[in-house]
A = this chain, B = another copy of it.
């Protein structure tokens, strides 16, 4: 590889490696490459297949099984959030802040709704002894 490429990726790699180490994950080649694809651009809602396809396009040497492993590991570590809306596929969201979604029924696309654009003034109490882990609001639109 060229000096230029070495330098350029070295910078990204250090930053990404930090992020992974911060959640006690080894900064392996495939994780780094996938993390770069996921967090390097503003690619918010992605399926496993789509990420796999992006990886292949980018020349990353990775298997689909590893993509699933990485997505689940990242989700478990709080770097991603899994969204289930369509029964045929899961979306992984690079936005882990509290927020909601528009779901475009026709295209299957998801769009973020900032948390403060939704205000709930009345909510039921959690059933006795249980605590709320998350509240999801999905606004389905026919597009």
Contact = CB atoms under 8 A, between A and B. Distances in A.
Interface in A43-90: 82, 84-87, 89-90
B140 A127 contact: no
B133 A136 contact: no
A121 B119 contact: yes
A136 B123 CA distance: 14
Please tell me how many copies of the chain the complex holds: 2
A106 to B, nearest CB: 9
Interface string A114-142: 00011111111011011111111111111
Interface of A: 82, 84-87, 89-90, 102, 104-105, 111, 113, 117-124, 126-127, 129-143
